[in-house]
Amino acid sequence: MSTRSIRRIESEDNRVFKRLVQMLTGRGIRKHDAAIVSGPKIIADILHASPELADAWISTPKQSTPPPTLPASAAWYEVSPRLFQKLDLAGTDAPLLLVKTPEMPAWEPEHGFAPGCSLLVPFQDPENVGAVIRSAVAFGVAEVVLLAEAAHPYHPKSLRASGGAVFLATLRRGPSLAALPDTLPIVPLSADGADVSTFAFPERFGFLPGIEGPGLPDRFRARALSIPMSGAVESLNAAAATAIVLYLWSKRNHR
């Protein structure tokens, strides 16, 4: 039995609950520098590797009590089942963890790219953002630059799609897609580009997949790469296409 004090929340007008609801959006996450994490495994991994990020345990009266790994400084919010459903976007029906979001330093074009591959992320779908961050960590990308167009990497859907990889990646805040200069060694990806399977990747570069739907601005398409396909489908999911290219780069970089 936990001896930690409980703060019970049963009304939508509760000040804490209103703040938690705001953290279900990118705007609210930026405002409070905090995010809600779902999924027992992801939560357990955070409490094991980075317990200092934990800010509060969120559960219903029938769910498990906070584990011993939750820091003493973290709060415990016991939320009514009806209100909990509004916070549990993934429908896990398991306790949630409120975390402080790690700082994301700014990246400017004049900084250039770190050795290896830097992933430039313009995706507006938070699930795609989370998926490509997971691929970036898996294949050893140096850093992930979230362009201004991108969904917030700590959005609940992004966190879930990443499998917690957002807490392992080196994340940077970048400028808008339009502000990227042509002078940088950027390797774009477009459906009408050259075959990526024969491309020799530079020692340091920024990999730029196109935004879902509109793709890349014309100025990048002229030097873009593409993934050859059978023609049975028009294009791949943006996150899937990114993973393929990162795998090819990683395979050549580490052979």
Taking only the tens of pLDDT, the chain with its 255 residues reads 456 789 999 999 999 999 999 999 999 999 999 999 999 999 999 999 999 999 999 999 999 899 999 999 999 999 999 999 999 998 999 999 999 999 999 999 999 999 999 999 999 999 999 999 999 999 999 999 999 999 999 999 999 999 999 999 999 999 999 999 989 999 999 888 889 988 999 999 999 998 876 678 888 888 899 888 876 666 678 899 999 999 999 987 765
Question: Cα(180)–Cα(202) distance, rounded to whole angstroms?
Answer: 18
In the three-class reduction of DSSP (H, G, I as helix; E, B as strand; rest coil), residue 47 is classed as helix
Q: Which of 137, 147, 157 is nearest to 92 (CA)?
A: 157
* Domains along the chain with CATH numbers: 7-100 (3.30.1330.30), 109-253 (3.40.1280.10)
Rg value, the chain, Cα = 20
Scored b (16 or more CB within 10 A) or e, 113-128 reads: beebbbbbbbbebbbb
Two tokens, residue 72: 């003493």
What residues are paired with 121 via a beta bridge?
A: 146
